[in-house]
Every structure is written in C-alpha cells, then in structure tokens.
Structure 1
Amino acid sequence: MKNRRIFIYVFLFSLTSINYIDRVALSVAAQPIAHEFGIGPIQMGFLLSSFIWTYFASLIVWGLALDRWGTRYVNAAGMAIFSLATVATGFAWNYASILCTRLVMGAGEASSFPAGGKVIREWMPASERGVAAATLNSGSYAGPAIGALLVAFAVQLFGWRTGFMIVGGSGAIWLFFWLRYFRKPEEAAFIGDDERAFILRERNGGLPETNAAPTLSIADMLRSSSVWGLLITQGFGSYAQFLFLTWLPSYLQTERHLDIVRSGYFTALPYALSVLLALLIGRASDRLLTADACRNGGRRNMVAFSMLLTAVVLVTPFVEDMWLMVAVFTLSLTGAQAALAMNIALIGDLLPSSAEAGRGTGLLITGGASFAMIAPIATGYVVALTHSYNNAFYIAGVLAVAGALVALLMTRAPIHRQAGAAHAPGASIGV
C-alpha cells in the first residue's frame, strides 16, 4: 500500500466518532433521566450544555500542551479522561452527580480537535487538508448517528445507565491502538521512505517550514483579522451543530411524537447521510484549490457556501412530512459539518507552519465552543417560554447566514506575527 497515511484518516475519524458518541448519549437518554430525577426543560438545557463549559475552558490549554509535548501522549490522556467520565455517568444518583461527570467529560474531550488539527497539519499534504479535516469532523456526525441508535437500543433494553457504560468503554479500544501505532511522520514505522519524504515536502504546500518551534503566540494570532473571522464563523456554525446534537432527539420525541427507538433512527439517518456529503465537499475544496490559493485563504469560499447550506434549517417549521424533514436536517447538518471542517483546514492553510497548529486549532475550537455553550441553554429557554422549537431553528439559520458573510469578508490574509499586512495578489483565487 503506497498511501499508508490512510491509517491516520482512520484515527482521526474514530477519535471524533467516539468523542461524539459520548456526547449524544445524554441527548438520547434525556427523557428517562428527566423523569427519574424530575428535571424540567431549562434544567435539562443547562445539563446538556454543561460539558461545553469545561470544554471551552480547556481548549487552549490542550492546544499549548500539544505544541509542547506532542499529540501521542496528550491526545491519549484526553481520551482516557472523557471515556472514564462517560462510564461514571452511568453510576450517577442525582442531577448534581450527572453534572459533575459531564464537566469532567468536557475537560477531557477538549483535547480531540486541537490534536486532530495538529495531526492534520503534521501529516497531510496541503492538497489533502480539506478532505482530512472533513474526515476529522465527519466523526462528529458519524458519532451521533452510531450513538443515537446504540444508546436508544441500550436504553430501551437495559435502561439509560447501561448506555453510558457501553459508549464510555469504547474509548479503551481506541486508546490501545493509538499508543501502539501513532508517531509523527518523521518517526512512524508504518510508512515507507518515499511517502515520508512526500509528506514532509508537501505538508507546507511545497515550501519549507519556517521554524521547528512555534513562531506565533496566542496573542499574535488574536491580532489577526483572519483569526477573528475564523473564530466568529466557527461559533456561528457550532451553534447550529449543537442545537441538533443536544435537542434533536427531544424535538422528535415531543414535537413529532416518536418513541425513543424511532427518534434514535431519525436522528441517526441525517447524521449518517451528512458524513458522506461533507466528505465530498472536503474533497472538492482540495481539488479546486491551488497551493497558492490555500496559503491565501481561498478555502473561505467553500466555508461560506457550507454556512449558507446550514441555513436551510430556517424552513424546518414549515415542513410536515417526516422524510422531507430528514432531507432538510441532512442538508443543514452537511453544511454545518463541512463549514466547521473547512475552517479547521483553513486555519492550517493560513498558519506559517505545523508548530502552531495545536494552539491555533485550540483557539479556533474555542470560538466554536463559545456559541456551542449558548445553543442548548438558549433552546431550553425558547422551548420553555414558547412551547415550540420554531424560534430555535430561526436563530440557528440567521447565524449561519451571518457566518457566511464573515467568512467571505474576514478570512482573507495569512496569519503572521505582524497583523494588518496586505495579502498577496491572487488571494481570492480558488473555491
């Protein structure tokens, strides 16, 4: 096999799949948990968003740790923490104990996307960065698809506690293979010398890396208008993503009157379809971009297109047919998934080297988490006050349109120590 970096794609996909299987478990089991502990919509909104609080607080810390100590052991530590916390949720005895396990889970899960972004920047040629980022982010949609079905059946057959124990235990298998096989491309034993040389030559678009050590601090990045554009777009896209992730099963059970298993099925189907469609968008972004366009932010056009696709969620209140609803959710989820993935690829395109990739991706996902924290809580209040999900869908759609404009206008220049420098001619070339 000439392209043995395919195993890195498998690691990236499975990393975020397990991460999101753990996240969606509470969404699927929300109704029986609410019944057992007497939890109302507003309390459930806080519980559904609670892991994002520690997730948000931990992202940059994990990013800095990754740049200092590398992805192998830092990412392994994150996986161990959030898997054990998910298992512990199955032993919770009241609202406060579930809240505590979710907070620990969020802190551990914050390692995954900064680690994934750094692995992509270290391992992938610039011409593969879009599809690699789409693969990483696809796990965040395959995870809910798998988890919605797995947890739904586990809850139906054995009770909600067993569901958390099953999904939490899956991280141990991943952890074994990660520690056994993963190394940086300079050290990996499973690739040949030709492939190693190709990766090292092409991961910076054919140009040499500027430095072995990071050249940009977090403060340097925050002086860049491109970084702020990336953060805002990531936040607006994440709002829609977490609206679906945390409230879609409850919406299907309460508004569409589906039982737990059927709501699991109709949650899983749009997620599964969106994985394939988002991978196609990622592949298209790689094929349509030149190396020069990558370095100058050309991928922003695909981000903007994907954000507009996310805005299809605006029509949800007007859809009655269940299969048409599946189509709407599939398109909106595809847009959100592709936008967030292309943003991860875009910050990799704009950074000067892989040495900053951990902190840069950590900062990017922090922008996403800032709005992800708001979505479950805001939706809980909207549902409680209006007894309807309609306004929740409108909010997500409007933010998606705004995100498309921000991506087009603000993410145009490479990220350098000196902010505000004019970007090179041809920066607008590409899709």
Structure 2
Amino acid sequence: MGDAAIQRPKGKNTRWAISSLLCSIIILNYFDRVAIAVAAPELQDSFNLSATEIGIVFSIYNYAYTMMQLPIGTMLDKWGVSWITRIGMAVWSILTIIFAFISGKLLLYLLRFLTGIMSASAFPAASKATANWFPYHERGLANSLFDSAAKFSNVLGGPLVALLITFYDWRTAFLVLGIINVIFTLIFWSYYDEPGRHKTISEEEINYIQKYGANASDIPVHRAKDVWKKLFTSRKVWGVTIGFTGYGYTFNLLLLWLPTYFKEEFQVDLLSSSLLTAIPWLIASITGVAVGGWLVDRLIQKGHKSNRVYKGIIIIGMLIGFSFLGAILTSNPILSMVFISIGLAGISATAPIGWTIASKISPPGAQGQTSSIVNFSNNLFGGIMAAALTGYLVDKTGSFHLSFMIAGAVLAIGLFFYTIVLGDIKTVEFGETEKESK
C-alpha cells in the first residue's frame, strides 16, 4: 500500500493522543521495576538480603505478573481495555505508596506479589488498544512507541530514583512514584475509551482507522475455550511467543540487574551506575521507535512485503543483539556500557515487530488473549528465570559472566523460532485455511 493511496483524516488525530496515553501507562508500569532495580543495594541493606534474596524480590513480582497474563487476556477481550486498566492502575498506585512504609521481609515479598498481579494488564492492554485504534500501516510505529516507553522508563526513572535515594532515601523514592501514579490514573480514567465511544474522535477518523485494518470491536467472536485451544496448538503462536522470549530474557536481565551489575562489577557509586544504565536504555528507546516503528511502517508503505520487512529486521536486530556479550570481556565500565548499548539497541528494534506480529496472527476479537500468551512466556522465562537465576549465579560465581552467556543462548533460541518456526505471518483461522496479512 503506497502513501498516495492512503487517505488520512484531516484535523485532530485522537489516536495519537491515545498512543501518548498508552506510553505514559507503560512508563509508569515500569517505573516500579526500575525503582526496585536502582534501590536494590539499599533494600539489601534495609532488609538484610543476599543477592539470591533480592533476586526473589525481583522474581516474586514476575511470578504474580506472569500468573495473571493468561486470565488477563480473556478479561481484556471480554470487558475491554478501559475498566481493566483503570482498576489495575488505581490499585498498583496505592500499593506503591504503601511500599514506602513497610518493614520486614514478609511484607516486602507480599507487596511485590500483589503489585505484580495488579500490573499485569499493562502490556496486553496497550497491545489490544493499539490494534483497536491503529490501522496496519501505522501500527508498527504505534507499537514501537509503547514498547520503547518501557525502555525509556529507565532513562527517566533510573536517575530520578537515584537522586531521591541519594538526597533522601528509598522510601521517599517510592512515595513520590506512588503519587505520580495516582495523578496519571486520574488522567487515564477521564480520557481513555474505545474509538466508537470516544468523546473527542471525529467520524472521519473512526472510518479511517477501520477502513485500513484497525479492529472495530472489543467483542469476542469465538468462545474463550475454543480460542485458547486454537492458539496453543498453532505453530505461528509458538513461533512468535518463543521468538519474543529470546528478546525478553536479555531485556529483563538488563532491566533488573544492570544498575547492580555496574555497581558491583566496576565498584562505581549509585549515581554513576544509574547514568551508565540510563544511556543504553536511551539508545534502545530511540532504536525501537526509529527502526522497529518508523522504518518498518515506511518500508511497508513503499510496497515492500510485510513478511520480508519483519523477518529481515528481526534477523539483523537479533544478530546485532549478541554484541552485549562483549561487556563481559572488558574491565572498563564505559566500554562495557558501549557493548550493552549496541546489543540492547539491536534487540529493541525487534520488540515492536513482535507485538505487531502477535496482533496480525490473532483471530478476530482475541487480540488480548494472543498478546497475553506472548507476554506470559516472556515473563515466565525472562521475568522469573532471568531474575532469580541471575541472583543465584552471582552468589555462586561472584560475577555476571555466566548469566550473560545464558542470555545469549536464549537469544539464539528466539532467533530460530522467529525465523524457522513462525513461518509466514498469517491470521490464525478457525477454519482449514489461514488468511495472509497484507
């Protein structure tokens, strides 16, 4: 589909305001995880935690988050993005404020578990909302924006939390984040709705996003039981799910452990480690939008086949991603940061494509369920295993070298599933044939 053939609506574009709102939700959703990562050394001192125990603090959140992924997909497809996200944001905001006042390991673990449950809807909701609001030729950029928001949360949240801890303490940091969450919850509550019910959208824009492939409705077309059976027996779903997990393992390892890695491996202070952490995430955020979003949409609009575009960037991005392994070969923190930046930029270019593929292969009305399967696997292997296994290996070996090598192996597995198992990117149908996504 060429640029000349696309008739864009004139005047106000509500869909891009919705995209900004979704990005804000993801940033806030990840602020919590960024804060835990940055505050990890202080939490270890406050609660007398070993590296293995702080790994449990990381992973217990992800146990709850992962456990909720499959049911949250059905809930999103049944009740829609609006109410599920509103409730989730409201409760996780309150839990973040409560976290600032707790004492004792049991409460620490309990609060992290409950926060994981209430945060679980964020990414599947953003993916489903993007499928509802954006036509295919704009979805790459829209997906890249909310996906890169997760990475950009490190750029904003890391230094902010480090400064609050340096000048105050970790409790103040979580209290401030909780208040920010409450403010944005009120904004989302008042502004978000589906295209057909939104108070500011024009009829012209509704017609545009539906004409060019956006999903017109939240209403499920098939019974949830039938959808789950079809999705879990689909080779394409397994291809994108394990493929995305290849990226997600490295992403989660660096998300949770990078500040501690720089602090422990190179003996730098908290502010220095937060800055060394922020730079790779800034580069990753830019790459995700520029390559995984803008470039993908641009190439498809110029007439290149979407299958080739998606697969080509995934292969190149993941191969570049292996560069992060160079960090374990140097004793220079700046050079280590450069290797990590290059690797993280490569895999970040592939992440928005994963979300786009998930929405394209999804049966009608099942975008939430498909996205939740992808996110379930991503957090099971990335969020839980990367968090807990890394803490255990650091305790046993005294370094992050083995953890990085395992992440490289998982990345290779993901590349195989994306390129070989996934096959052509076609809608998973309930009949005998599959419909190719143009």
Question: TM-score under structure 1 normalisation?
Answer: 0.92
The aligned residue for residue 378 of structure 1 is 389
- Equivalent position of 2:401 in the other structure: 390
Report which stretch shifted further, 383-392 or 296-305: 296-305
Which residues of 2 match residues 142-221 of structure 1 at below 5 A?
A: 142-204=152-214, 213-215=220-222, 217-221=227-231
The answer to whether 1:250 aligns with 2:250 is no
Distance 1:152 1:212 in 2: 44
| Amino acid of the structure 1 residue aligned with 2:103 | W
Following the alignment from structure 2 to structure 1, what is the Cα–Cα distance between the partners of residues 377 and 423?
A: 18
CA apart distance, 1:402: 2.2
Q: What CA distance in whole angstroms lies between the structure 1 residues aligned with 2:235 and 2:432?
A: 7
Letter of the aligned partner of 1:343 in structure 2? G
What residue is the counterpart of 1:72 in the other structure? Answer: 82
What number of residue pairs does the alignment pair up? 421
**Deviation at residue 421 of structure 1 after TM alignment:** 5.2
Verify: 1:136 aligned to 2:143, yes or no: no
Give the unaligned 5+ runs of structure 1. Answer: none
The C-alpha deviation readout for 1:91-127, integer Å capped at 9, x for no partner, is 1201111111110111111100110011011001100
Aligned-residue offset at 1:324? 2.8
Pair 1:322–1:423, CA change in 2 (3 A): same
Equivalent position to 1:98, from 89, 108, 112? 108
Q: Which amino acid aligns with 2:19?
A: Y
SS at match of 2:195: coil
CA 1:392–1:243 in structure 2 vs 1: closer, same or farther (change >3 Å)? same
C-alpha distance after superposition, 1:239-273 (max 9, x if no partner): 10111111111111111111111111111121122
Residue 376 of structure 2 is aligned to residue 366 of structure 1: yes
Query: Structure 1 CA distance, aligned partners of 2:220 and 2:260?
Result: 47
Contact 1:307–1:335, Cα closer than 8 Å, also in 2: yes
Offset at residue 336 of structure 1 (A) = 3.2
- Aligned equivalent of 1:23: 33
Q: Give the secondary-structure state (helix, strand or coil) at the position aligned to 1:186.
A: helix
**Contact between 2:132 and 2:216, CA under 8 Å: does it hold in 1?**
no
Which of 324, 334, 341 is the aligned partner of 2:345?
A: 334
1:297 and 1:350 in contact (8 A); partners too: no
> Match for residue 239 of structure 1?
249
In structure 2, the residue matched to 1:299 is 310
Letter in 1 for 2:336: M
Q: 1:77 to 1:412 in 2, by over 3 A?
A: same
Q: Which secondary structure state, in structure 1, belongs to the residue aligned with residue 201 of structure 2?
A: coil
Matches within 5 A, 1:284-363: 284-289=295-300, 293-294=305-306, 299-353=310-364, 355-363=365-373
Q: CA deviation at 1:322?
A: 3.2
From 125, 132, 145, give the equivalent of 1:115: 125
CA drift at 1:379: 0.7
Q: 1:118 to 1:409 in 2, by over 3 A?
A: same
- Contact 1:120–1:132 under 8 Å retained in 2: yes
Q: Say if 1:409 and 1:419 are closer, same or farther in 2 by CA, change over 3 A.
A: farther
TM-score (norm 2): 0.90
- What CA deviation, in whole Å up to 9, does each residue of 1:315-334 have, x standing for no partner? 11123433332222222222
Q: Distance in 2 between matches of 1:171 and 1:377?
A: 27
Larger deviation, residues 248-257 vs 187-196: 187-196
Per mean C-alpha deviation after superposition, the further-off stretch among 266-275 and 414-423 is 414-423
Spell out the pairing of 1:265-280 with structure 2 (5 A cutoff). Answer: 265-280=275-290
Unaligned runs of 5+ in 2: 1-10
Contact 1:252 1:263 in 2 (8 A): yes
What do the CA deviations read for 1:65-109 (whole angstroms, capped 9, x no partner)? 111111111111111222222222211201111111110111111
Partner of 2:6: none
How far apart are the structure 2 equivalents of 1:260 and 1:364? 34
2:235 to 225, 229, 233: 225
Report what 2:3 is aligned to. none
Counterpart code for 1:309: I
Letter in 1 for 2:81: T
Q: Separation in 1 of the partners of 2:94 and 2:228?
A: 31
Counterpart pick for 1:409 among 395, 401, 420:
420
Structure 2 CA distance, aligned partners of 1:302 and 1:367? 22
Quote how far apart the aligned CAs of 1:157 are: 1.1
CA RMSD of aligned residues (A): 2.2
1:292 shift after superposition: 9.5
Please state how far the C-alpha of 1:384 moved relative to its aligned partner: 1.1
